[in-house]
Chains A and B, each alone.
Chain A
Amino acid sequence: MTMIKNDRISEIIDGKRVITRKPELLAPAGNLEKLKIAVHYGADAVFIGGQEFGLRSNAGNFSLEEMQEGVEFANKYGSKIYVTTNIFAHNDNMHGLEEYLQGLERVGITGIIVADPLIIETCKEVAPKLEIHLSTQQSLANWKAVQYWKEQGLERVVLARETGAEEIQLMKEKVDIEIESFVHGAMCIAYSGRCVLSNHMTARDSNRGGCCQSCRWDYDLYAVEDGEEKPLFEEGKEAFAMSPKDLKLIESIPKIIELGIDSLKVEGRMKSIHYIATVVTVYRKVIDAYCADPDNFVIQQEWLEELDKCANRETASSFFEGEPNYEQQMFGEHGKQTKFDFCGMVLDYNEESKMVTLQQRNYFKPGDELEFFGPNIENFTTVIEEILDEKGESLDAARHPLQIVRFKCEQKVNPHDMMRKEMR
Chain B
Amino acid sequence: MKKPELLVTPHSVSHVQELLEAGADAFVLGEQKFGLRLAGEFTIAQIEEAVKMIHTAGKKAYVAMNAIFHNDRVDALTPYIQQLDRIGVDAIIFGDPSIIIARREAESNIPLHWDAETTSTNWFQANYWGKRGATRTYLARELSMEEVVEIKENAEVEVEVLVHGMTCMFQSKRSLLGNYFLFQEKTMEVENRKEAKNMFLHDKERENKYPIYEDLNGTHIYTPNDICIIDELNELFEAEVDSFKFDSVLCSDEYAITVTSCYRKAIDAYMESEDDYDDVKQDLLEAIEEIQPEIRPLDTGFYFKETVY
A78–B47 Cα gap in the complex (Å)? 57
In chain B, positions 137-168 with a C-beta closer than 8 Å to chain A are 140-143, 147, 150-151, 154
The count of chain A contact residues (Cβ–Cβ below 8 Å) is 73
Are A329 and B179 in contact (CB-based, < 8 A)? yes
Are B198 and A116 in contact (CB-based, < 8 A)? no
Specify the chain A residue showing the minimal Cβ separation from B123: A91
Are A191 and B74 in contact (CB-based, < 8 A)? no
Report the stretch among A11-19, A199-207, A382-390 that lies at the interface. A199-207
Are B69 and A197 in contact (CB-based, < 8 A)? no
Query: Is there a chain A Cβ closer than 8 Å to B125's Cβ?
Result: yes
Query: Is there a chain B Cβ closer than 8 Å to A402's Cβ?
Result: no
Which residues of the partner chain A approach B305 to less than 8 Å between Cβ atoms?
A: 203
Are A167 and B309 in contact (CB-based, < 8 A)? no
Are B308 and A145 in contact (CB-based, < 8 A)? no
Are B70 and A141 in contact (CB-based, < 8 A)? yes
Are B174 and A189 in contact (CB-based, < 8 A)? yes
| Most chain B CB inside 10 Å of its own CB: which residue of A90, A92, A162, A200 | A200
A110–chain B nearest beta-carbon distance, Å: 25
Q: Digitize B98-122: 1 where CB-to-A-CB distance is under 8 Å, 0 elsewhere.
A: 1011100000000000001111011
Are A142 and B122 in contact (CB-based, < 8 A)? no
A209–B309 Cα gap in the complex (Å)? 6
Are B118 and A196 in contact (CB-based, < 8 A)? yes
A170–B71 Cα gap in the complex (Å)? 8
Query: Is there a chain A Cβ closer than 8 Å to B73's Cβ?
Result: yes
Query: Is there a chain B Cβ closer than 8 Å to A115's Cβ?
Result: yes
Query: Is there a chain B Cβ closer than 8 Å to A277's Cβ?
Result: no
Q: Digitize B283-305: 1 where CB-to-A-CB distance is under 8 Å, 0 elsewhere.
A: 00000000000010000001001
Specify the chain B residue showing the minimal Cβ separation from A200: B169
Are B201 and A194 in contact (CB-based, < 8 A)? no
Q: Which of A118, A171, A238 contacts B122 (CB 8 A)?
A: A118
Are B172 and A191 in contact (CB-based, < 8 A)? yes
Query: Is there a chain A Cβ closer than 8 Å to B216's Cβ?
Result: no
Query: Is there a chain A Cβ closer than 8 Å to B251's Cβ?
Result: no
Asked, given contacts A221-B180, A224-B198, A324-B174, whether A191 binds B68 with beta carbons under 8 Å apart, the answer is yes
Are A219 and B202 in contact (CB-based, < 8 A)? yes
The count of chain B contact residues (Cβ–Cβ below 8 Å) is 74
Specify the chain B residue showing the minimal Cβ separation from A166: B71
In chain B, positions 171-216 with a C-beta closer than 8 Å to chain A are 171-184, 186, 189, 196, 198-204, 206, 208-210, 212
Which residues of the partner chain B approach A220 to less than 8 Å between Cβ atoms?
A: 201-202, 204
Are B183 and A167 in contact (CB-based, < 8 A)? no
Query: Is there a chain B Cβ closer than 8 Å to A73's Cβ?
Result: no
In chain B, positions 208-227 with a C-beta closer than 8 Å to chain A are 208-210, 212, 218, 221, 223-224
Which residues of the partner chain A approach B116 to less than 8 Å between Cβ atoms?
A: 193
In chain A, positions 305-346 with a C-beta closer than 8 Å to chain B are 319, 323-326, 329, 331
Query: Is there a chain A Cβ closer than 8 Å to B28's Cβ?
Result: no
Query: Is there a chain B Cβ closer than 8 Å to A195's Cβ?
Result: yes
B79–chain A nearest beta-carbon distance, Å: 14
Q: Digitize A175-200: 1 where CB-to-B-CB distance is under 8 Å, 0 elsewhere.
A: 00000000000000111011111011
A237–B186 Cα gap in the complex (Å)? 14
Are B202 and A326 in contact (CB-based, < 8 A)? no
Query: Is there a chain B Cβ closer than 8 Å to A303's Cβ?
Result: no
A72–B263 Cα gap in the complex (Å)? 61
Which residues of the partner chain B approach A234 to less than 8 Å between Cβ atoms?
A: 184
A and B contact pairs by CB, cutoff 8 A, 11 listed: A90-B147, A121-B124, A167-B71, A191-B68, A195-B171, A220-B201, A222-B199, A222-B209, A223-B196, A232-B180, A241-B180
Residues of A whose CB lies within 8 Å of any CB of B are 57, 88-94, 115-118, 121, 137-139, 141-145, 147-149, 160, 162-163, 167, 170-171, 189-191, 193-197, 199-201, 203-205, 207-210, 215, 217, 219-225, 232-234, 237-238, 240-242, 244, 319, 323-326, 329, 331
Residues of B whose CB lies within 8 Å of any CB of A are 68-71, 73-74, 77, 96-98, 100-102, 116-119, 121-125, 128-129, 140-143, 147, 150-151, 154, 169-184, 186, 189, 196, 198-204, 206, 208-210, 212, 218, 221, 223-224, 295, 302, 305-309
7 A-B pairs with the lowest CB-CB distances in the bound complex, closest first: A210-B309, A144-B98, A148-B97, A326-B179, A219-B201, A208-B309, A118-B124
